[in-house]
Amino acid sequence: MIPLFGVQRQATRLRAALDARIARVMDHGGFVLGPEVAEFEDRLAGYCGAGGAVGVGSGWSALHIALLAEDVGPGDAVFAPAFTFTATADAVIAVGATPVFVDVDPDTLNMAPMALARAMEAVRREGRLTPRHVIAVDLFGLPADYAALGAVAAEGPAPLRVLADAAQSFGGSRDGARVGALAPVTALSFYPTKPLGGLGDGGAILADDPALRDRYRSIRNCGRGPDGLQAEPAGPTARLDTLQAAALLAKLDAYDAELARRREIAAFYGAALEGLADLPPREAETDSAWALYTIRCDDRDAVRAKLAEAGVATAIYYPAPLPGHPAFRHLAPAAGALPVAEAASRRVLSLPMHADLTDAEVEAVCAAARAALA
C-alpha cells in the first residue's frame, strides 16, 4: 500500500539527527521547559517572521490558550469555518463560548469572507450572543484570505480579532509573508502527521504582542506566573515537552527540503489529474504547505474503493461539516445554510502526500487516480 503519510519513513531518514538531539536531553535531564523549548520557540518565530512563539502541548491547547488569553468566554460568539477538524470548534466550547459556523469558499474551502459578514450580521441582529472572535483555518495547508477576513472582522461597532488555526499550514505563505505573520495570533499543531510533526503531541502559539505571550506562558504552566504565584485561574498543564522540542529542532532542519518535495508532488498531481476532478487551487499569491492533497469528485466512495484496490491509501477529511458531528448538532443552523461545506464533505478525497514518496509511487498514484476518475 502506498501510505497516505510518511511518519515512519521520515523518522528512519532523520534517525541520526533525532537520536543526537534526544540524547542531549537525556544527558541534561531538563525534561520540562528545558533549554530546547526556548531554542525551538526562537527558531520557530524566526522561521515564520512572528514576534515570538510559545510552545504548548497540542494544537488544541494552542487554540484553547489563545482564546483564554483573549478572555473569550460564556455569552461570546466565535466564528469558525463549518468545514475543518473538530478541534477548531471544540476549543471554543472548552472556554464556554459558542461556535458559530461559517460556510467556506468553493475554490479554497477556507472561510468565505462574505459568509463571515453574513454570520456576524445575523448574530448581531439576533442579539443573544456577543460577537467576540474569528478563527480562520488554513485547510489542507492553504493559507486563508486573512486580509479579506480581517477587514470583515474589523467592521461594525466592536471589531473582532482573527485567530489563525494554522495546524495544517506551517511553512505556507501568502503575498510573501509566511504563516505565523498573517494574523495577530497563530496556533500551530505538531501532531505527527502535520507538515511539521513531532514524535507525539505538541503545538505552539505565535504572537507579536509580548503581553499576550506572557499570558500564554502562565496559562500553559497551570496558570502560574513568573513569580510562582497563581496568575490565571483556569490554566491547564499544557507545556511543550523538552523531548518534543528537541525532535522538532531536528525536523525543522529538514523542513524546507521536505516542503519543496511536497510542492513538486502537488504540481505533478495537478498536471496528471487536471480536468478529472476538482483540484486544490493554485493561486499566484498563495503557497500551500501541502499538508494534504485533497481532490473533490463525484462518486467519491467508488473512486476510493478503486484506489484501495490499486494499493493507494486515501482518507476522507472530513466526512461531515462541523454541525454534522453529534457533539455540535445543537449548534447547527437551518438545513441547507452551509451548502459548500455540506457538498465538500460528500466529495473530498485525500491522496498520499509526504516528502518520502518515491517518484515511482507518485506516478503510481497518478495512474491509479486517472483510471479511477475516468
Ligand X SMILES: *Cc1c(COP(=O)(O)O)cnc(C)c1O
Number of residues forming the site for ligand X (CB under 6 A): 15
Maximal C-alpha separation, the chain: 65
Binds ligand X by CB under 6 A, chosen from 50, 67, 83, 84: 84
Distance in angstroms (rounded) separating the CA atoms of residues 271 and 277: 12
Do β-strands 203-207 and 52-56 pair in parallel, antiparallel, or remain unpaired? antiparallel
Nearer to ligand X, 120 or 289 (CB): 289
CB of 219 to ligand X, least distance (A): 16
Compute the chain's Rg from CA coordinates.
21
Stretch that binds ligand X, among 34-42, 79-87, 94-102, 242-250 (CB under 6 A): 79-87
State yes or no: residue 108 binds ligand X (CB under 6 A): no
Q: Using alpha carbons, select from 287, 262, 263 the residue that is nearest to residue 176.
A: 287
CB of 370 to ligand X, least distance (A): 28
Decide if 61 contacts 90 (C-beta within 8 A): no
Nearer to ligand X, 189 or 244 (CB): 189
At 249, is the secondary structure helix, strand, or coil?
helix
How many other C-beta atoms can be found within 10 angstroms of the C-beta atom of residue 361? 16
CB of 165 to ligand X, least distance (A): 5
Stretch that binds ligand X, among 71-79, 81-89, 270-278, 308-316 (CB under 6 A): 81-89
Stretch that binds ligand X, among 52-60, 237-245, 253-261, 366-374 (CB under 6 A): 52-60
Binds ligand X by CB under 6 A, chosen from 78, 123, 167, 179: 167
Nearer to ligand X, 181 or 322 (CB): 322
Binds ligand X by CB under 6 A, chosen from 59, 143, 180, 321: 59
- Whether omega before 191 lies within 30 degrees of 0, making that bond cis, reads no
Build a one-symbol-per-residue string for 179-208: x at contacts with ligand X by CB under 6 A, - elsewhere.
----------x-x---------x-x-----
CB of 63 to ligand X, least distance (A): 6
Helix/strand/coil (H/E/C) assignment for every residue in 5-68: CCHHHHHHHCHHHHHHHHHHHHHHCCCECCHHHHHHHHHHHHHHCCCEEEEECCHHHHHHHHHH
State yes or no: residue 318 binds ligand X (CB under 6 A): no
State yes or no: residue 60 binds ligand X (CB under 6 A): yes
CB of 191 to ligand X, least distance (A): 4
Query: Hey, what's the cell of 59?
Result: 494544537
Distance in angstroms (rounded) separating the CA atoms of residues 218 and 207: 15
Q: How many CA atoms lie within 13 A of 348 on its CB side?
A: 26
CB of 247 to ligand X, least distance (A): 15
Q: What Å distances lie between residue 289 and 117, 167, 220, CA to CA? A: 27, 11, 27
Nearer to ligand X, 81 or 113 (CB): 81
At 359, is the secondary structure helix, strand, or coil?
helix
CB-nearest residue to ligand X? 59
Query: In 298-344, where do the E strands start and end?
Result: none
State yes or no: residue 88 binds ligand X (CB under 6 A): yes
DSSP letter at 73 equals -
Nearer to ligand X, 119 or 137 (CB): 137
Query: Hey, what's the cell of 19?
Result: 537520536
CB of 120 to ligand X, least distance (A): 21
State yes or no: residue 168 binds ligand X (CB under 6 A): yes
State yes or no: residue 137 binds ligand X (CB under 6 A): yes
Query: Hey, what's the cell of 162?
Result: 482573527
Stretch that binds ligand X, among 161-169, 178-186, 224-232, 345-353 (CB under 6 A): 161-169
Given the rule CB under 6 A, which residues bind ligand X?
A: 58-60, 84-85, 87-88, 137, 165, 167-168, 189, 191, 201, 203
